[in-house]
Amino acid sequence: MPTLYRNGSVLTPTPAAATALLVDGGRIAWIGTAAAAPDLPDRDVVDLAGGLVAPAFVDAHVHTTDTGLAITGLDLRTARSLREALDLVERAARASRGRPVLGGGWDETTWPEQRPPTSAELDRASYGGLVYLARVDIHSAVASSSLRAAVPGLAGLAGDRGDGWVGEPDAHDAVRRAALAAVTRGQRRDAQRAALRHAAGLGVASVHEMAGPTISGEADLADLLALAAVEPLPEVVGYWGELHGIDTARELGATGAGGDLFCDGSFGSATAALGEPYADRAGDDRGWLRFDTEDVAAHIAACVAAGLQSGFHAIGDAAVDQVLAAAELVTARLGHPLCPGHRLEHAEYVRDPARLAASGLTASVQPCFDALWGGRSGMYAERLGPDRALALNRFADLAAAGVPLAFGSDSPVTGIGPWAAVRAAVGHHDPAAAIPLEAAFAAHTRGGWLAAGRRDEGTLAVGAAATFAVWDVSGRPRHASGLPDVAATPADDPGPRCVTTVLRGRTLHAADDATPRA
């Protein structure tokens, strides 16, 4: 049955004022003023009550199961000290009644102790239980003694420090696989459902799942895609991050053989690959590159041949340069540029935006990284020094060069929060790196759809897919574009309340489980 949404404001590409839209068959059939709405004998009517109808958000980089486990389990992002984190572990262990305790989000750089927990401390807090706690960037973790004992040969793997902390390139992968193996299929499904419902409640109609053999697993992605296909949940666009894993990506129904295909690590764990050494590390420590450039190029070429998107996790400048060099090798061998759609995840330290633009790669970026760790006194400055810290996440430079942008959260690294990401992009620590509100909103809506190859989503126009969110904007400052002026609100403001989220005409979220009808 057609549905008329009326008595609000509709954000359209044209300047004409619109207060209503008609949805029929999953598409927008009409947009205009409520007084001019088509008089159909059989239609449902939704009163927008003054709400703003805008394209729904896309979160272009998510780890859904981890996000759900943080929602339903142990989230240490709020811990203000090592002692507080251990207290939270103890409470979780008591509540778990012997089941494994999985959590994450800790960041030792914000604690007065300036160090992570040890295995011995986790053992005491958990009464000897199995504990896995990922650092906020999910590139290192701490593990209890029982979890360490479940990984044969752990002490001989690169990245194992012996005191509970495990990092890249090998130790963390092995420990994480063992920890995820302890999660039952039912727990995984509950976590995935919780994460997707949470996203829908924030106006997100689609998430790009960054799966892979070490970060989640084949069964995790298969279950997630199946869940989203049968329940009223945001669409999941799957990416499988395994070098040369073309066949697996196809079998799983993934859009791309890429995503979190790690060329390097992270700044927080001091494993992102740099051209110059870390400022806070001894010697010539520049992080690491996981692959040879020829292997990266071979993966891109295989994806092109298979008609799949390729994509790589690249944070440090050396990693970004490696992916660009590989893309240039493939372009030279093909005799033509790469088709649009291939991706560079994070792309934090881009020394030559014009080179990235020429590659044709989309930059899938996370503005809240700068909000949390940027500036001259944040974690980036601690790791790299203040000058290099201000060279990171320069969205204005990328946009000016013509690099397509898609915004995401990397949840649970930062929480799903689209308005917070828009605010972070508009209010970058360096104003010269910020982008306008309209551009930031577009990167978090249409930019995400385009990054997944969906060209008929992300705009409110007749004939387009009926994918949108309704926002309560009462009492909020408005920008000339019609959007909420999030730059004019306090940093801790969560943004407008999402009243309704709709994906191709299907309601995913209705505030208070009720959509007002006239």
pLDDT in tens, 307-329: 999 999 999 999 999 999 999 99
Mean pLDDT, the chain, rounded, equals: 94
The H or E element that residue 106 is part of is: strand 101-106
453-480: average pLDDT: 94
Q: What are the Cα distances from residue 52, in Å, to 7, 448, 482?
A: 10, 21, 9
Is CATH 3.10.20.30 the classification given to domain 3-56+460-513?
no
Q: Are 139 and 269 in contact (CB under 8 A)?
A: yes
Q: Are 217 and 178 in contact (CB under 8 A)?
A: no
Q: What is the pLDDT of residue 216?
A: 92
Residue 477: strand, helix, or coil: coil
Among the residue ranges 40-44, 243-247, 344-348, 403-407, the one predicted with the least confidence is 40-44
The contacts of residue 412 (CB under 8 Å, 6+ apart) are 63, 66, 67, 69, 70, 75, 77, 104, 105, 138
Residue 355 reports pLDDT greater than 90: yes
Residue whose C-alpha is closest to residue 63's, from 11, 119, 137: 137
Residue 217 reports pLDDT greater than 60: yes
Residue 190 reports pLDDT greater than 50: yes
Residue 515 reports pLDDT greater than 80: no
Share of the chain above pLDDT 70, in %: 98
Among the residue ranges 25-34, 159-168, 486-495, the one predicted with the least confidence is 486-495
Rounded to 5 degrees, φ, ψ at 224 are -65, -45
Q: What is the pLDDT of residue 514?
A: 44
**Amino acid of residue 221:** L
Q: pLDDT digit string (tens) for 51-73?
A: 999 999 999 999 999 999 888 87
Residue 37 reports pLDDT greater than 50: yes
| Domain boundaries of the chain, sorted by first residue | 3-56+460-513, 68-181, 240-451
379-387: average pLDDT: 96
Q: What is the pLDDT of residue 518?
A: 35
Rounded to 5 degrees, φ, ψ at 149 are -65, -20
Q: Kindly report the CATH number that applies to the domain delimited by 240-451.
A: 3.20.20.140
Q: pLDDT digit string (tens) for 273-282?
A: 999 999 999 8
User: What is the DSSP annotation of 255-305?
Assistant: SEE-SS-BSS--TTTT-S--SS--TTSSTT------S-HHHHHHHHHHHHH
- Give domain 68-181's CATH number out of 3.40.50.10800, 3.40.50.300, 3.10.310.70, 3.40.50.720: 3.10.310.70
Residue 195: strand, helix, or coil: helix
Q: What is the pLDDT of residue 513?
A: 52
Residue 477 reports pLDDT greater than 50: yes
Q: pLDDT digit string (tens) for 109-151?
A: 999 999 999 999 999 999 999 999 999 988 899 999 999 999 9
Pairing of strands 52-55, 468-472: antiparallel
Q: What is the pLDDT of residue 278?
A: 97
Q: What is the pLDDT of residue 452?
A: 96
449-468: average pLDDT: 95
211 bridge partner residues: 240
The backbone region for 238, taken as left when phi is positive above 0, alpha when psi lies in -120 to 50, beta otherwise, is beta
Residue 220 reports pLDDT greater than 90: yes
User: Which band of pLDDT confidence, cut at 50, 70 and 90, is reported for residue 96?
Assistant: confident
Residue 160 reports pLDDT greater than 90: yes
User: Which band of pLDDT confidence, cut at 50, 70 and 90, is reported for residue 516?
Assistant: very low
**What is the end-to-end Cα distance of the chain in Å, rounded?**
15
